[in-house]
A = this chain, B = another copy of it.
C-alpha cells in the first residue's frame, strides 16, 4: 500500500496534465513588483469538481454563485480575484460575480456557467467591474501560468503558496497541483482561505466529494491562525482525467491511493498557510492521541492549537504547560486527568496528570525550534489527530491594527 508520493520541483496548480492558468494586474490591489490580482484556472476538458465552502452565516455572493455551480459536480475552471471580497454589498454582489464568471468564460471560450468565482480581500466594497472588464482580456491561460495564478490570490500573504506532487496510483502516475492563500481569519472550519487543487486523475464524482471532505477534515479544518473565519472560504478540487486510466471509485485500492495523495497535498498547503500566518514566526504542531473518538482528538488538538495563551507562550519560548492543560480542559472532550501525558518536542513533561522532573533547559531549548511539537496522550482510547497553529506575535497585532484605513 501507500501511494508513493513524490514532490515535483517548482510545481504549481498547473502541474497536472490538461490544466492552464493565467493572471494579470487589474488594479484591485496596490501595485508592487510582480503583483497580480486577477487569475483564471482552466481545465482543457470538462473536469469533475468537488468543493467545500465557508460555514459563516454571511457569505460573499462569489461563494453563493460558486456553491450553486459546484452542485453539478463538473466545471471547466474558476476566476479568482484578490483585493476585494465582494461581500456585504447588497444585490450588486451577485450581479458582479455573475458578470465576472461570464467575462472569464468569454475570455477562455467556455460557457459562463462552467466557471466558478472566488474573491478575497476587503469586505463592504463593490468589485471595481470596470477594471476587471478592462483587464481580463489580458489573461491568456497557459500550462506555465500556475505561478502567476497563485500570486493573483495573495492578499496579506507574504508569499504565494503552491505545490505539486506525483503519486503512483495503481501503476499509473497521477499529478496533483495546488495553489492556496490564507493569512488572517484562519480557524478550524475554514476561514479567509482559498485553495485550488487540480489533478489529472479520473475520479468518480461522488467519491471525489467524499475524498475532499476527508482531506479537508484532516488539513484545512485543523489549522488556526487567529480563530476568525471568513465569508469567502473555498476549497475546490478539479479532476480532469487527463492522466487516463479507469475511473477511480470509492472503496477500491486506487481510491485509497488517491485519498492519500489528496490529503497529503491538502496538509502540505494547510501547513504553508499557517507558516505564513500574519506575524507568525513558528509552526505549532499539536498531536492528541489515545483519545476516545476522532471527534474528541480533533477538537482537543484544535483547541490547544487555537489558544492565544498557548500561541503566546510559543512565541516566548516558554514551556508553560499549564496552558496546554487549560486549553485541553476547555475543549470539553472526554478525559481522565490522572491519565494524561504531555510531551514537548518528544520530551516527556507530564505523566499521569502531574509534572515529572524534566530537564527544563532541554525543553526551553526545544521551544526555540521553527516547529514546536506538543503531544497530549489521553490514554483512554485509540483515536488521534493533529492540528497546526502559529505563534502569536507583536507583529500580528501591529499588522491587524492597521489594515483598511
Contact = CB atoms under 8 A, between A and B. Distances in A.
A124 B329 CA distance: 14
A228 B403 contact: no
A318 B402 contact: yes
Interface stretch (A24-32, A33-41, A110-118, A331-339): A331-339
- Chain A interface mostly: loop
A57 B328 contact: yes
A57 B309 contact: no
Given A57-B331, A318-B405, A329-B57, A312 B229 contact: no
Given A124-B321, A355-B124, A312 B231 contact: no
Given A185-B326, A392-B397, A227 B227 contact: yes
Contacts of A343: none
A289 interface: no
B228 A307 contact: yes
**Residue from A226, A308, A404 whose CB has the most chain B CB atoms within 10 Å:** A308
Contact of A58 (B328, B352, B398): B328
A397 B400 contact: no
Interface in A34-50: none
B326 A228 contact: yes
A316 B402 CA distance: 6
A396 interface: yes
Nearest to A306: B227
Contacts of A226: 308-309
Interface stretch (A11-19, A82-90, A134-142, A193-201): A82-90
Contacts of A331: 57
Interface string A341-353: 0000000001011
Report copies per complex: 2
Nearest to A122: B322
A10 interface: no
B394 A335 contact: no
B328 A404 contact: no
Given A58-B326, A228-B308, A326-B228, A353 B88 contact: yes
B57 A318 contact: no
Interface in A366-405: 392-394, 396-398, 400-405
B58 A325 contact: yes
A225 to B, nearest CB: 9
Contacts of A327: 228
Given A228-B330, A405-B319, A350 B397 contact: no
A240 interface: no
Interface string A288-332: 000000000000000000111100110110111111011111111
Enumerate the 9 nearest inter-chain pairs by beta-carbon distance, A residue then B residue, closest first.
A123-B322, A316-B401, A58-B329, A312-B400, A56-B329, A320-B404, A57-B329, A90-B354, A394-B394
29 contacts: A58-B326, A58-B335, A58-B337, A87-B325, A88-B322, A88-B350, A88-B354, A89-B355, A90-B338, A90-B354, A122-B322, A124-B355, A184-B309, A228-B307, A228-B308, A228-B323, A228-B326, A228-B327, A229-B326, A231-B326, A312-B401, A313-B403, A315-B397, A318-B401, A320-B405, A322-B404, A360-B405, A364-B405, A393-B397
Given A90-B354, A124-B322, A229-B330, 14 more contacts: A57-B331, A58-B328, A58-B337, A59-B329, A124-B350, A228-B307, A228-B308, A228-B327, A231-B325, A308-B400, A312-B396, A316-B401, A318-B402, A320-B403
Interface of A: 55-59, 85, 87-90, 122-125, 184-185, 226-231, 306-309, 312-313, 315-316, 318-323, 325-333, 335, 337-338, 350, 352-355, 360, 364, 392-394, 396-398, 400-405
